[in-house]
Amino acid sequence: MDNNAASHRFLDLRAADEAFADELVRAAERVIRSGRYIGGPEVEALEHEMTALTGMAHCVGVGNGLDALRLTLRAFVAEGRLKPGDEVIVPANTYIASVLAIIDAGLTPRLIDPDPATMVITGEAVEDAITPRVRALMLVHLYGRTAWDDTMRRVVEKHNFTVVEDCAQSIGARSPYAGLTGLHQTGALGHAAAFSFYPTKNVGALGDAGAVVTPLPEIARTVRALANYGSDRRYHNILPGFNSRLDPIQAAMIRVKLPHLRQLNAERFGIAMAYRNTIANPHITLPPVSKDVTDCVWHQYVITTPYRDRLRDFLRANGVETDVHYPTPVHLQPCMVNVAHGPLPMSERLAREAVSLPITPGSTAVIDAVEIARIINRFDPKQTQ
């Protein structure tokens, strides 16, 4: 086969959501007929379901994942647990939202490199990056892989760091290692966690949506106030806040999919295994598979090759769409010129070498993955221009 019409799309949301379409329509209709268009039972029910999923006592629905992160950090500042200028360790190869949230809260990002194999940060790297100004850690479970281990726990406990998880890509993932709370679920490892329901995430709304979970009642209260003009009760504003509430229609959409989370993540695992068992090409490095099946929920399946652009051209010519997460590391973005950082060679290498393969659940997804893998096995960087 050699054509330019992609027979393997990178991500087709319409196809992915087809299985839920009838239920989504019914759920939207429920909200439309309820007359409750801000807050109300759908939002409360989703918040309850997120506390059940994570084991955290509190959940606050917000407008999107970036707001979940930035309002959480602002809440820690408002509560005096962090103060302006404090440094927050964060991986440089994350999606930029993790870092924008730190800057928005008046904190200073301290960018570090990930482990080259897992592409998430390690406890050792965190320990090496500590300065007297580091007071917090943003734990990004990038591509769905939990970034937590005993060293990480020891380091954050020893220094009493505030730990905020970026769970935008890791809903349903469980670390083999217990978090600060004693629980293993991502979202329950630290002091607070942010989720995104952006449509492409493992559980996607049909628009923007996000949520914060935390075991700390004062943080939940402050995030809820910040997301609602800074008011703790009607017409009483304790903080200069924002409008970032979770839309009840989106809450209803998420509630259709959330009960299928385990199945959806299991399907992603199946696709990842199909790639792992079929791709055999000396020019390509595959992501490692942890012994613990739920340690990674495979938001993306990211392979690396020094011939990245040639591989992508070859795959495109063979009908396979790919993507790159992310082509520019955070510290090289134009808006980050004033952010100080040390050398970040691993993040720069990943930005040059990473390719994301299609990994959306669906009835033919595993067969498709095997087909894509076989195409990848035919890739020879010397035979393509």
Ligand X SMILES: *Cc1c(COP(=O)(O)O)cnc(C)c1O
Only one of the segments 40-48, 91-99, 211-219, 358-366 lies at the binding site for ligand X (rule: CB under 6 A); that segment is 91-99
What residues contact 253, with CB distance under 8 A and at least 6 apart? 24, 27, 28, 205, 206, 207, 209
| Cα gap 25→33, rounded to integer Å | 12
Nearer to ligand X, 140 or 212 (CB): 140
The answer to whether the beta carbons of residues 88 and 138 sit under 8 Å apart is: yes
Report in angstroms how near the CB of residue 119 gets to ligand X at its nearest.
12
Report in angstroms how near the CB of residue 168 gets to ligand X at its nearest.
3
The DSSP line for 103-164 is: HHTT-EEEEEPPPTTT-S--HHHHHHT--TTEEEEEEE-GGGB----HHHHHHHHHHT-EEE
Size of the site for ligand X (CB under 6 A): 15
Task: Give, to the nearest 10 degrees, the angle between helix 41-54 and helix 21-34.
Answer: 130
Should residue 169 be labelled a site residue for ligand X when binding is judged by CB under 6 A? yes
Should residue 99 be labelled a site residue for ligand X when binding is judged by CB under 6 A? no
139 pairs with which residues across the strands? 165
- Member of 54, 64, 318, 322 binding ligand X (CB under 6 A): 64
Q: Which of residues 123-162 bind ligand X (CB under 6 A)?
A: 140
Only one of the segments 71-79, 123-131, 166-174, 214-222 lies at the binding site for ligand X (rule: CB under 6 A); that segment is 166-174
Should residue 210 be labelled a site residue for ligand X when binding is judged by CB under 6 A? yes
Count of CA atoms in the C-beta half-sphere (13 A) of 112: 24
Should residue 172 be labelled a site residue for ligand X when binding is judged by CB under 6 A? no
Report in angstroms how near the CB of residue 356 gets to ligand X at its nearest.
12
- Member of 65, 109, 172, 215 binding ligand X (CB under 6 A): 65
| Cα gap 243→212, rounded to integer Å | 15
Question: Residue with the closest Cβ to ligand X?
Answer: 65
The answer to whether the beta carbons of residues 195 and 68 sit under 8 Å apart is: yes
Should residue 98 be labelled a site residue for ligand X when binding is judged by CB under 6 A? yes
Report in angstroms how near the CB of residue 198 gets to ligand X at its nearest.
4
Nearer to ligand X, 47 or 208 (CB): 208
The answer to whether the beta carbons of residues 64 and 104 sit under 8 Å apart is: no
Should residue 94 be labelled a site residue for ligand X when binding is judged by CB under 6 A? yes
Long-range contact list for 34-39, CB < 8 A, 24+ apart?
34/248, 36/248, 37/248, 37/249, 38/245, 38/248, 39/245, 39/248
Only one of the segments 62-70, 181-189, 247-255, 281-289 lies at the binding site for ligand X (rule: CB under 6 A); that segment is 62-70
Should residue 311 be labelled a site residue for ligand X when binding is judged by CB under 6 A? no
Window 23-52: contact mask with ligand X (x via CB under 6 A): ------------------------------
Should residue 198 be labelled a site residue for ligand X when binding is judged by CB under 6 A? yes
Enumerate binding residues for ligand X (CB under 6 A).
64-66, 94-95, 97-98, 140, 166, 168-169, 196, 198, 208, 210
